[in-house]
Amino acid sequence: MPGVYHAFLGADPAAGRGPRERLREVFCLPPDAICTLKQVHSATVLPFEPGDGGFPGGPEREGDALWTAAPGTGVGVHTADCVPILLAHGELPLAAAIHAGWRGLAAGIVEETLRALARRHGENVPASLRAVAGPCARGCCYEVGEETAEALLSVPGGCDRLRRGKAQGKWMADLQAIALSALRAAGIPPDRVEGLGPCTVCSTGFHSFRREKSLTGRQLSFIYICDSLHGN
Ligand SMILES: [Zn+2]
């Protein structure tokens, strides 16, 4: 991905130092360069606007996918067990970040994002994208009930990624694999769709809502379009 930074930031061993501070230290990016939304498990896709996730005050607009076509901006997503998905175009300065939990996947957040990008930048956009689905709750640990399993079965490819759990009426769901199936089904070439990172529930290097309950922090995953793409 020339001209693009992308990263999945895990838990920081230094107490009190959040992922946004690490943006400055590790990537030399000002924290307000990465825009985020107030995530609500929806299928709402929004284009970047100046002020998204800016400081102070944090994110205000509600939605679960944010895209940008502006060099010098980035888009990010906070997750603890949901799937962070990052998209980048091979030639255009175009990137997106998607928050995809089971509700968002079932609501079609992946398909909606691809549709929004194609509407704005042309029907061929999905074929020119690369996608990465990051660390999230996976089939080893993510037990769900019948209602959630039924919702996930509606995601393209979802039925291959669910297996019966040990307890009656329980299923084990691999959210990353379901997200990858949805990305391929939405038109991104299979060889440009990649899963990255382990299960957040059983990997203590990552925040997990299942493991840590309401005390958990969040990973920040982001993608940033460098100014240098345009020679600035
Ligand atoms: Zn696990």
Query: Which of 229, 208, 205, 184 lies closest to 87 in space, CA to CA?
Result: 184
pLDDT at 13: 46
Residue type, 56: P
Q: How far is the centre of ligand 1, averaged over its atoms, from the C-alpha of 205 (Å)?
A: 12
pLDDT at 215: 72
Q: How far is the centre of ligand 1, averaged over its atoms, from the C-alpha of 92 (Å)?
A: 36
Q: How far is the centre of ligand 1, averaged over its atoms, from the C-alpha of 136 (Å)?
A: 9
Q: How far is the centre of ligand 1, averaged over its atoms, from the C-alpha of 29 (Å)?
A: 32
Q: How far is the centre of ligand 1, averaged over its atoms, from the C-alpha of 162 (Å)?
A: 14
Q: What is the CATH number of domain 4-137+175-230?
A: 3.60.140.10
Q: How far is the centre of ligand 1, averaged over its atoms, from the C-alpha of 103 (Å)?
A: 20
Q: How far is the centre of ligand 1, averaged over its atoms, from the C-alpha of 57 (Å)?
A: 34
pLDDT at 4: 54
Domain ranges in the chain are: 4-137+175-230
Q: How do residues 184-232 score in pLDDT, each as one tens digit?
A: 999 999 999 999 989 999 998 888 988 988 777 788 899 999 876 444 4
Residue 48 has pLDDT above 50, yes or no: yes
pLDDT at 29: 79
pLDDT at 6: 57
Query: Which of 65, 127, 72 lies closest to 97 in space, CA to CA?
Result: 65
Q: How far is the centre of ligand 1, averaged over its atoms, from the C-alpha of 198 (Å)?
A: 8
Rounded Cα distance, 207 and 11, in Å? 6
Q: How do residues 120-158 score in pLDDT, each as one tens digit?
A: 999 999 999 999 999 999 999 999 999 999 999 999 877
pLDDT at 217: 79
pLDDT at 175: 96
**Per-residue CA distances from 113 to 133, 172, 215 (Å):** 14, 26, 30
Task: Name the phi and psi angles at 137, rounded to 5.
Answer: -70, 130
Between 179 and 29, name the one with better pLDDT.
Answer: 179
Q: What's the mean pLDDT in 108-131?
A: 96
Q: How far is the centre of ligand 1, averaged over its atoms, from the C-alpha of 78 (Å)?
A: 19
**What letter does residue 15 receive in the DSSP assignment?**
T
- Can you give the length of the chain in residues? 232
Q: How far is the centre of ligand 1, averaged over its atoms, from the C-alpha of 65 (Å)?
A: 25
pTM higher than 0.85, yes or no? yes
pLDDT at 83: 97
Residue 2 has pLDDT above 50, yes or no: no
Q: How far is the centre of ligand 1, averaged over its atoms, from the C-alpha of 174 (Å)?
A: 9
Residue 92 has pLDDT above 60, yes or no: yes
pLDDT at 18: 62
SS (H, E, C) 100-124: ECHHHHHHCHHHHHHHHHHHHHCCC
Q: How far is the centre of ligand 1, averaged over its atoms, from the C-alpha of 110 (Å)?
A: 23
Q: How far is the centre of ligand 1, averaged over its atoms, from the C-alpha of 188 (Å)?
A: 27
Between 33 and 193, name the one with better pLDDT.
Answer: 193
